[in-house]
Structure 1
Amino acid sequence: KRAAARAEKRPYRYDRAGLQVDRQERFARAAAGEPHVVRFRTPDEPITIKDEVLGEAVLPAGEVDDFVIRKADGYPTYHFAVVVDDALMNVTHVLRAQEHFNNTAKHLVLQSALGFEHPAYGHLSLIFNPDGSKMSKRDKDKAIRAAVKSAGLASPPDGTITQEAFDAWLGDKKSQLDHDALVAMAQALDVTLPEINVADFERSGYLPEVLCNFLSLNGWSPGNDLEKFDNAFLARNFDLSRVQKTPARFDRDKLLAFNLDAIQAMPEDEFRARARAHGMRFHPQFMDALTTEQFDLLADASRERSKTLDDMFKTNGWLLLEDDRLSWPISKPVRKAMLKGETPGWTILQQVVALLERIEPFEGAALERELTEWAEDACDGNLGKIAQPLRIAVTGGPVSPPIFDTLAMLGKERCLLRIARCLEVMEGAAASS
């Protein structure tokens, strides 16, 4: 019957065929172990849904089918379990997506049959991506599929998933890779996975209070153009009457701006503590590689530029590299800073090595004083002429925290080792250009 309804492209409705079988026979067959389900017989009367967001709706008699409340394996269905769970937990309000609106009718008739009180229901609009597509957990899988297609891959990147799993996934558009596989593929393909669930945003370093603040604005507002507030304000002022019925669009740029503002407003000691907790949870290898002094220096140097708690871990991998494994790809910014101009940066770097060897203590304040004085004499006061070559030499690239903090974090010995290796590379590049 179900197959026939599907073939005719009409919704399947149970025809109460079980009631045509004698009651004693039904129970005897069930007791004998014959697979069976238990259905709830929906009353033949209209069902009124009082929704705190969408208003009142009346479903005519017969609209709601006789639905299964216990499956053939003996386990209760979601509808039965959630009604019992809500009642036993004294739930007063059920707020969920509009997709569940039709389920509410089933829950109301079950509650009445079981003698439970009805909680207040409110069905919230969906959250869409900026392009108008539905925000979905499948978005992460879609991002990887797009990258695989763009790269024309017939095999998975090394260290990700097996060829068999790759072929099965690629051949079935409805299948999804699990979280670990998605992360491995994203790293191998240099893809940033979109955050979808709360755990994703946590992992990306968004502050929980910022996420709560921002999410509340996706479909609700306090009504006075106020956008930034804490959870206490939200608890005092949230009102279902101000929840909008139309879908909201999730503006990731705005969320990032909210998070940046919150981090910049933090006292240094709070940022250190929260960054440390984030690192211990999501970047334990990074944390193990740094001393407490190094971490505190990195946190203090990173706070004003960090949009998330994760930024300082993502952008400072140079700290973890063994000195003999650091490399210097000749990108456009590196070429400009090191190989171009009347006095190329690598030649200025040669001149400053002796100064760095003498500086004691090798700390931020002393480094700033000595290098600034040296730049006054050697570079007409243009500190940038030595700062950028130094940055590239010790980190491998043109971006890092302030140069004095960067040097202090590495320490004198490691800085000098890296500079010596960098000079060899740049001399060779200069000779061949």
Structure 2
Amino acid sequence: MGNPLQCAAMTTKPIVTRFAPSPTGALHVGGARTALFAWAYARQHKGRFILRIEDTDQKRSSPESTKGILRDMQWLGLRWDEGPNHAADDPYANQLGANGPYFQSQRLDIYTKHINQLIEAGLAYEDDGAIRFRMDKDVTFCDEVFGEMKIAAADLEDFVIRKADGFPTFHMAVVIDDALMGVTHVIRGQEHLNNTSKHVALLDALGFERPTYVHLSSILNPDGSKMSKRDKAKVARKAAKDAKLTSVGFDDDAFAAFLDKKNDEMKFALAIAEQLNLDLPEINVADFRDSGYIPAALLNYLALLGWNPGDDIEQFDLDFLIQQFGFDRIGKSNSKFDRAKLLSFNSDAISKLDTGTFSMLLGQQLVAHHPEYTDLVNDPPRFAMFCLAYQPRAHTLDEVADMGRFFIIHNSEVQYNADDKQVKKNLLKNNCEGLRTLADFATELEQLTPFSGEDAHNLIKRYCEEREMNMGKVAQPLRIAISGTVVTPDIALTLDIMGKKDTLLRIMRCLDAFSAQMEVTAE
């Protein structure tokens, strides 16, 4: 668990936390966990949660990344009290709060003022166009997780606080912003622990009060490697080599370098994934959103990466987190990201959704990522049955698109494979007993009026009782005729969604597909 020492005196100030991402790419799940903990602590103490965009790296920062971060935060439900406009299409206008601007690129005059103050006090100096801060004293600070840290002056070096291009470095900007915005608790990743000596030295030099520091351990892959966007390149590279892929249709020289591990450009990973129908590992919040994860499930799982609620509790909602969160239960050890466990959490979260919410979320997912489902989504009675069929079976929203695809393809696209184990068992075994039963049942199904899944189910039951056979003797051949496999939802729902006309057409196609086998057995 966390640091047993009492690092900081209890503050009577209003609690203020912040999340300060750099818009140089997508929001990583590690960043989302940091945002979650900062948000939860502020909510617990009825304080303020600030979202600040640290865009001083002008070469790598982009408005697109900023908008992506804001969309991800809103999707997660982590609303901020101060920061960019919640309308992600124009985050720079009408910023929220009295301590802005909340983009570091808009605060250059503020940084310049404090840098000049350090220069005038002899605490900073010019060096080849840049400005460096003098580190000539021992530094001691306390972290709520890792305890007291002492760094001797001999182990410290002067560091740049303003680059030659006039922009402040991360170290200078973050210190000024935290101080002027009244941040009381800095919650951030462990990679910043070594930077903290610089930050407290600057705070002391400028006469600002130190905040409470809380550094979170890293999130790792199951093999112990750091979880990063390079994981996508690694998976794509291996798949390309296994498939002996030598080109993706553009930049052949750069692609060869990608295969040779000389670059990790995402455009090649994505191109490989598209060509090979490959699923790349989810790393960023947007990856999990696009894969059909539920925000509540992702946040629940992220909260467990480094924080222990106690009493063997694992599944909980945000209200529980707000009530129970504390630094004393944050561990020092790195956490391993268990995708199977997250998938289990997500499956449970989906199963607990009310039908209206599930229908809305699934419809949004399908239209956004699988537009071929648009007609089904826009058919309310049929889509309601589709949702009823797949909510109990779905691990992710996107998984439904694969499971239910046979409902939306043209009848001619259903594939029947005579070598398939289930086809042999349910259709071809015992001189095509299943096919003959299917053909006989189809004549009765054709007479069923009006048609509904429930009526069809009752017909199957009556048909089987009259012949003293198990209902599976009809249901399984029906499933194969409709989908090409025995894996479908409840047979009544399957028939309801499929409808009478297309069910009969697919039965006829199935019988035609195996007509040669039936003729042989008839001889």
Shorter-chain TM-score above 0.5: yes
Q: Which amino acid aligns with 1:300?
A: L
2:482 aligned to which of 388, 394, 399: 394
Deviations 1:316-374, CA, capped at 9 Å, x for gaps:
11122122233223432233322223443222221122222222232221111112211
Q: Which amino acid aligns with 1:209?
A: A
5 Å-filtered alignment, 1:29-178, equals 37-156=129-248, 163-178=252-267
Contact 1:95–1:121, Cα closer than 8 Å, also in 2 = yes
Q: Which amino acid aligns with 2:450?
A: P
1:115 shift after superposition: 4.0
Equivalent position SS for 2:292 = coil
1:246 aligned to which of 319, 326, 333: 333
1:165 shift after superposition: 4.9
Contact 2:292–2:365, Cα closer than 8 Å, also in 1 = yes
- Runs (5+) with no aligned partner, structure 1: 1-22, 24-29
- Over the residues paired in the alignment, what is the CA RMSD in angstroms? 2.6
Q: Which amino acid aligns with 2:422?
A: P
Partner of 1:293: 381
Partner of 1:374: 463
Change (3 A) 1:345 1:163: farther
CA distance in 1, matches of 2:382, 2:288: 26
Contact 1:36–1:71, Cα closer than 8 Å, also in 2 = no
Partner of 2:94: none
1:278 aligned to which of 365, 378, 390: 365
2:291 aligned to which of 186, 204, 211: 204
Percent of pairs identical after alignment? 43
1:385 shift after superposition: 1.5
CA distance in 1, matches of 2:455, 2:271: 43
Change (3 A) 1:233 1:161: farther
Partner of 2:276: 189
5 Å-filtered alignment, 1:356-375, equals 356-375=445-464
Tell me the TM-score normalized by structure 2. Answer: 0.69
Equivalent position SS for 1:310 = helix
Deviations 1:61-84, CA, capped at 9 Å, x for gaps:
043322223333333332233333
Tell me the TM-score normalized by structure 1. Answer: 0.83
Equivalent position SS for 1:256 = helix
1:429 shift after superposition: 5.5
CA distance in 2, matches of 1:432, 1:195: 51
Tell me, yes or no, if structure 1 residue 213 matches structure 2 residue 300. Answer: yes
Contact 1:169–1:177, Cα closer than 8 Å, also in 2 = no
Bigger mean CA offset, 278-287 vs 138-147: 278-287
Q: Which amino acid aligns with 2:445?
A: L
Equivalent position SS for 1:373 = helix
Change (3 A) 1:184 1:174: closer
Equivalent position SS for 2:141 = strand
Equivalent position SS for 2:160 = strand
Q: Which amino acid aligns with 2:324?
A: N
Would you say how many aligned residue pairs link Structure 1 and Structure 2? Answer: 395
Partner of 2:89: none
Q: Which amino acid aligns with 2:469?
A: G
Q: Which amino acid aligns with 2:505?
A: L
CA distance in 2, matches of 1:293, 1:167: 51
Equivalent position SS for 2:479 = helix
Deviations 1:13-64, CA, capped at 9 Å, x for gaps:
xxxxxxxxxx9xxxxxx9xxxx954232233001122111100101110433
CA distance in 2, matches of 1:360, 1:372: 16
Q: Which amino acid aligns with 1:237?
A: Q
Q: Which amino acid aligns with 1:198?
A: V
Q: Which amino acid aligns with 1:401?
A: P
Partner of 1:3: none
Equivalent position SS for 2:316 = coil
Partner of 2:430: 341
Contact 1:128–1:249, Cα closer than 8 Å, also in 2 = yes
